[in-house]
Structure 1
């Protein structure tokens, strides 16, 4: 029996994509991993070092060294921009579609009407000619200012004033009233509702709450991602379920990937808890697919906080060391990312970067996985490993891993 584990360090990119200069000029010079290794030169991440991190990062000033026996590569992002939701759907074998760009003001009337119909108190707040909605004085819905502008709506709540369960009900009303690819429903325990109002910003056609500025991430953070138009029937969990293979999702991936037949640990962002749950689930299972997302790296990038980013990497590295201890002869581990989030770039958005591919297993060859054209190659490799039907998209690199 065997297990395949995909460990996603959210936002841990390894250098700008070739199209950044023309498609995302604000990301020119982005290189999340290289800058972190360059800043913390005397510190090491021993497990990631063993897996070959500095083979793909190439930071000569770091205490971390390349490892000749490591199996490494990198992946391009096939989806436009650099979005967590799109990245994880791609990892699961979905062929990315051109995202709908529809700033919030195009949807505000329909959303407002739906909320009124459900009995919510709704007020408009206007800044520089753009309006968003405040619900029951403690929840604001508008554009997501951290992802690609106009492609995601945020529902940001003060969880000191309203339960997360009630916020999710509001989120479902909003989700049913718009057709952008993702709605993010989240909040934190804020000192005052004024924190939300003071964090409202306008960027071009878009208006929303600057989530890091609001303090939503700082205390009691909870989140769920509500997608639109993603076909789970062509993704890895469905392919494996048809084969009788168990699937376990831990962390943010469980919030954004549909896995109705498997085990899901949702609404968890604490890295120590994510690693603890993952280790326990892997240890008690003789076979199956596991996908784990460490989100606090991404949150540190949004806050432009390198120290917090490195501290999270250290926690994740320790968790990975425990996972390595319980791998059996046939297990495979892949460490990767979904995009970049350079904490030195000077803006609070994701950065469009290559992602690392670090493969490990007792049967895995020390070789090059090469440069993959899409994150979906990971999902295709998982399905190939379990001899299931392939997902919608991607090319397996399993032959490069094992004889």
Structure 2
């Protein structure tokens, strides 16, 4: 009974890759810099001491780090017990964003140029905004700037409540984010607005990867808070992923945990479960593993590493999250059956010690575990698509167009 459990530690990069200088990221190392800052007592919130992740170390994360940098990570205890196989990979996609990373992992690298927010004018174009206002019947909009999601609702939240004008903003990714009050504006109204914006972008051939609905609650800047009912409206890529092939060729199933379904617009997904935080993500992943049948993929994204700690430059929070995941990892390993395959990886980096608040172009780790698997280093991979080719080979489905099987 073959099953694959694919876990994305969102943004858990492991060192600058060969083309990182093209992105201004040479020297970024999400894992290494978090561990070092904690060890040196330079992390925020007073965090100091060794980063305790013995289970990830036993799966080879420290060995990968040594392969990339030449040394074991400073501030992480080395382990003599190794289990499973490990590798690391660079990306062949053009971007260092969530969308590109996930699509490459499932076998469809993204080579197109994304449309990004115009940093020179600090705004979306007037022509685009006019199309949106006219087609969506808006009297006006707020924001229209590059901003943090928590800060923009503090700045425009009161005006939004008074005028009901939606708040538009973006980040370093190719995204169009819309923030509205969940109750006063209405969650369904927000979703409908984002759907219309997605259609407008598609019709005008504007390659923005995702339109993101960002609901919030509260009645003043002190208690405004984003809720877990975020929804992504992604551009559709008309190429088959390994997820679709499993369903079509083997009658299999794909169970998406977290934001996975939104990234793929629900295509190649048979069930989707939303999550609230790291704890919820882990518990729902465990439940899905316990419930799924043969020829299944459980595909989980642990978004907090990126959204809560990477982008917000919270070294201590990131470290605590890694330790929580690591502490619970044996629960996951212990429920695996003999033919189950576990793959833990990432989609890009987001070094919280780096300049700015953007993602960082880094290698990602690939940790592979199966019961009675011999420990082995499987090299530096040229593309994240090697993961999809590995899954394809494991299930015995047709070969993907990109990548080589790691196994």
What TM-score, normalized to structure 2? 0.82
**Is 1:137 the counterpart of 2:178 in the alignment?**
no
When residues 261 and 162 of structure 1 are mapped into structure 2, their CA distance, relative to the original with a 3 A threshold, is: same
CA distance in 2, matches of 1:342, 1:83: 13
Correspondences of 1:285-300 after superposition (within 5 Å): 285-287=292-294, 288-299=296-307, 300=309
**Is 1:78 the counterpart of 2:92 in the alignment?**
yes
CA distance in 1, matches of 2:6, 2:217: 34
Correspondences of 1:173-192 after superposition (within 5 Å): 173-178=196-201, 179-189=206-216, 191=218
CA distance in 1, matches of 2:223, 2:300: 25
Q: Deviations over 1:234-264 (max 9, x none)?
A: 1011100112111111112222124446433
Alignment equivalent of 1:116, drawn from 120, 127, 134? 134
Alignment equivalent of 1:281, drawn from 261, 279, 288? 288
CA distance in 2, matches of 1:20, 1:192: 43
CA contact (8 A) 2:145 2:168 kept: no
Unaligned runs of 5+ in 2: 40-48, 66-71, 147-155
SS in structure 2 at match of 1:161: helix
CA contact (8 A) 1:224 1:256 kept: no
CA distance in 2, matches of 1:394, 1:81: 18
CA distance in 1, matches of 2:246, 2:61: 29
Correspondences of 1:112-261 after superposition (within 5 Å): 112-123=130-141, 137-142=164-169, 144-147=170-173, 151-159=174-182, 161-178=184-201, 179-189=206-216, 191=218, 219-231=226-238, 233-242=239-248, 243-260=250-267
CA contact (8 A) 1:334 1:357 kept: yes
**Is 1:375 the counterpart of 2:384 in the alignment?**
yes
- Counterpart of 1:35 in structure 2 is 33
CA RMSD of aligned residues (A): 2.7
CA contact (8 A) 2:10 2:306 kept: yes
CA contact (8 A) 1:55 1:66 kept: no
**Is 1:308 the counterpart of 2:325 in the alignment?**
no
CA contact (8 A) 2:180 2:215 kept: yes
State the 1:69 CA deviation. 4.2
CA distance in 2, matches of 1:125, 1:238: 38
What TM-score, normalized to structure 1? 0.82
**Is 1:339 the counterpart of 2:348 in the alignment?**
yes
When residues 63 and 261 of structure 1 are mapped into structure 2, their CA distance, relative to the original with a 3 A threshold, is: closer
CA distance in 2, matches of 1:187, 1:215: 16
Select between 109-118 and 4-13 the one with higher mean Cα deviation: 109-118
CA distance in 2, matches of 1:228, 1:260: 11
CA contact (8 A) 1:71 1:366 kept: yes
CA contact (8 A) 2:348 2:362 kept: yes
How many correspondences in the alignment? 367
State the 1:118 CA deviation. 3.4
CA contact (8 A) 1:377 1:393 kept: yes
CA contact (8 A) 2:88 2:366 kept: yes
**Is 1:89 the counterpart of 2:87 in the alignment?**
no
When residues 314 and 388 of structure 1 are mapped into structure 2, their CA distance, relative to the original with a 3 A threshold, is: same
